[in-house]
C-alpha cells in the first residue's frame, strides 16, 4: 500500500529513535533482563504508549496503520520492547477506551499513555491458554465488590506492571458467559508475582506467574458488565494480533538487512556471494515472502481503521507473518554461515526473540481455526 505523508513521517521518526537509541542498547537490555523506567517515558514522548488513543485522552490519535508501522520499527531494533508496547496499546489502553467507564479512564489512562505505568494482560492460566473458557480464577461477589483468587501464567510485564487487566469467573454455571474482566492495580493487597520465567528469547520482557490471594476488588474496578469478560478479551485480541504480526515484520526486516549487507561484502570464488545464484535466489525468496507478510499486516490495519470486521484478516496476518519471520531469520542466519551463529552479528538474538510470535496472542493452530471458521 502507499502510505500517507503522516504515516511516513511517523514511521521515519520512530525508525530514527529505534536505530539511534534502542538498537545500540539491545544486548544490554537483554543482559539486564529489563528496561530502565525512564525509557518508557521517552517512548511516551513519541506517542508510542498510547498510539491510537485520542489526543483528548493524552494519546497520539494515530491510526492503526501508523501503529503497525511504529511497532515494526521498534521490533527491528528490539523485539522484546515491541511486545511490551503491543500489549500496552492493543490490550490495555484499547480495552480501557472501548470498555472502561469514564471514571476508570480518568484514573488509569493518564499514567498509561504517559509511560509512567505499564499494563499487563492476565488471561492465560496453566490449564487455560487458547481455551479461555476453561479459566479457573474466581471472582466471588462479596459486599461492595469481589474477592479474587486464582493464578495466571505467562503474563508479560507481570513484574513491572502498575495495572493488570485480569479475567476471572464470576458465574461458574454460565460457561464463557460467566467470565468478567477486572482492573487490578498491582499494589493491591493479594497481588503476588510468582515465578519469573527463564525463556528462550525476549529476556528483557519479563514473563511471570501471577497469583491472587483473597484480593478484594471494589465493584468500580470491574471492566464492563459482569459476564462480558470473554467478549472484551477476544475483541481486543483482534488488534493484538495485528500488533504481533507487525513486530514479526520488524524482526524479519532487521535480519534480512544483516544478511543482504553481509552478502554484498563477503567474497567467495572472486565475487560477492550475493552474485552466486544459491545465495541471491535465497535472499530473493525471503524478500518476497517478507513483502507479502507486510502487505497482509497493513491490509488488516487498514480494515480496522475503516471500521470494518478484520478478525479473519488479523489472524491471516499473524499466522503468515509469524511463520514467515522465523523462516526469514533462519535463512538470513544461513547466509552468514558460521558468523550468523555468533552473538556479535545480531541474528542469534533475533532468532531467539522471533520464535515466540507463533505462540502468544493465539498460536498458529488457533489462527488457522479462526480463519477456517470464517470460511
Q: Which residues are catalytic?
A: 361
Looking at the chain, how many residues does it have? 375
Who's near 61: CB < 8 A, 6+ residues apart? 52, 53, 54, 55
Give the H or E element holding residue 214: strand 207-218
User: Residue 358: phi, psi to the nearest 5?
Assistant: -85, 0
Q: How far apart are the C-alpha atoms of 311 and 328, rounded to whole Å?
A: 25
The answer to whether the beta carbons of residues 297 and 315 sit under 8 Å apart is: no
Instruction: Compute the distance between CA of residue 59 and CA of residue 49 in angstroms, rounded to an integer.
Output: 8
Cα radius of gyration rounded to whole Å, the chain = 21
Q: What is d(CA 296, CA 246) in angstroms, rounded to the nearest whole number?
A: 10
- Please give the Cα distance from 257 to 192 (Å, whole number): 42
CA–CA separation, 207 and 190 (whole Å): 19
Report the alpha-carbon distance of residue 153 to residue 211 in Å, rounded: 9
Cell digits of residue 231: 467478549
- Half-sphere exposure (CA, 13 Å, Cβ side) for 186? 20
Q: Which of 135, 75, 112, 68 is nearest to 310 (CA)?
A: 68
For 64, 68, 113, the CA distances from 305, given in Å and listed in that order, are 6, 11, 20
Amino acid at each position: 500500500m502507499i502510505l500517507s505523508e503522516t504515516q511516513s513521517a511517523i514511521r521515519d521518526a520512530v525508525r530514527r529513535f529505534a536505530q539511534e537509541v534502542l538498537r545500540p542498547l539491545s544486548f544490554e537490555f537483554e543482559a539486564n533482563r529489563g528496561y530502565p523506567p525512564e525509557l518508557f517515558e521517552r517512548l511516551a514522548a513519541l506517542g508510542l504508549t498510547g498510539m491510537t488513543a485520542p489526543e483528548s485522552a493524552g494519546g497520539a490519535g494515530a491510526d492503526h496503520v501508523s501503529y503497525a508501522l511504529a511497532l515494526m520499527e521498534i521490533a527491528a531494533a528490539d523485539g522484546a520492547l515491541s511486545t511490551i508496547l503491543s500489549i500496552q496499546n492493543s490490550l490495555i489502553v484499547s480495552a480501557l477506551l472501548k470498555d472502561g467507564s469514564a471514571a476508570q479512564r480518568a484514573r488509569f489512562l493518564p499514567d498509561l499513555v504517559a509511560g509512567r505505568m505499564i499494563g499487563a494482560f492476565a488471561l492465560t492460566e496453566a490449564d487455560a491458554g487458547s481455551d479461555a473458557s476453561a479459566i479457573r480464577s474466581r471472582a466471588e461477589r462479596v459486599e461492595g465488590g469481589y474477592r479474587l483468587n486464582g493464578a495466571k501464567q505467562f503474563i508479560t510485564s507481570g513484574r513491572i506492571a502498575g495495572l493488570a487487566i485480569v479475567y476471572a469467573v464470576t458465574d461458574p454455571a454460565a460457561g464463557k458467559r460467566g467470565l468478567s474482566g477486572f482492573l487490578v492495580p498491582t499494589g493491591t493487597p493479594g497481588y503476588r508475582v510468582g515465578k519469573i520465567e527463564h525463556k528462550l528469547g525476549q529476556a528483557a520482557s519479563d514473563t511471570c506467574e501471577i497469583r491472587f490471594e483473597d484480593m478484594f476488588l471494589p465493584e468500580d474496578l470491574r471492566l464492563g458488565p459482569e459476564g462480558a469478560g470473554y467478549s472484551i478479551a477476544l475483541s481486543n485480541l483482534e488488534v493484538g494480533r495485528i500488533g504481533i504480526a507487525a513486530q514479526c515484520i520488524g524482526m524479519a526486516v532487521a535480519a534480512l538487512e544483516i544478511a543482504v549487507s553481509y552478502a554484498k561484502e563477503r567474497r567467495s570464488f572472486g565475487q560477492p556471494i550475493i552474485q552466486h545464484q544459491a545465495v541471491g535466489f535465497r535472499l530473493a525468496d525471503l524478500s518476497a515472502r517478507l513483502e507479502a507478510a507486510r502487505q497482509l499486516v497493513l491490509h488488516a490495519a487498514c480494515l480496522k481503521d475503516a471500521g470494518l470486521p478484520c478478525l479473519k484478516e488479523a489472524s491471516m496476518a499473524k499466522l503468515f507473518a509469524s511463520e514467515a519471520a522465523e523462516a526469514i531469520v533462519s535463512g538470513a542466519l544461513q547466509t552468514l554461515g558460521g558468523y550468523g551463529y555468533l552473538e556479535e552479528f545480531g541474528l542469534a538474538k533475533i532468532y531467539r526473540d522471533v520464535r515466540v510470535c507463533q505462540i502468544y496472542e493465539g498460536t498458529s493452530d488457533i489462527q488457522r481455526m479462526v480463519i477456517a471458521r470464517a470460511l
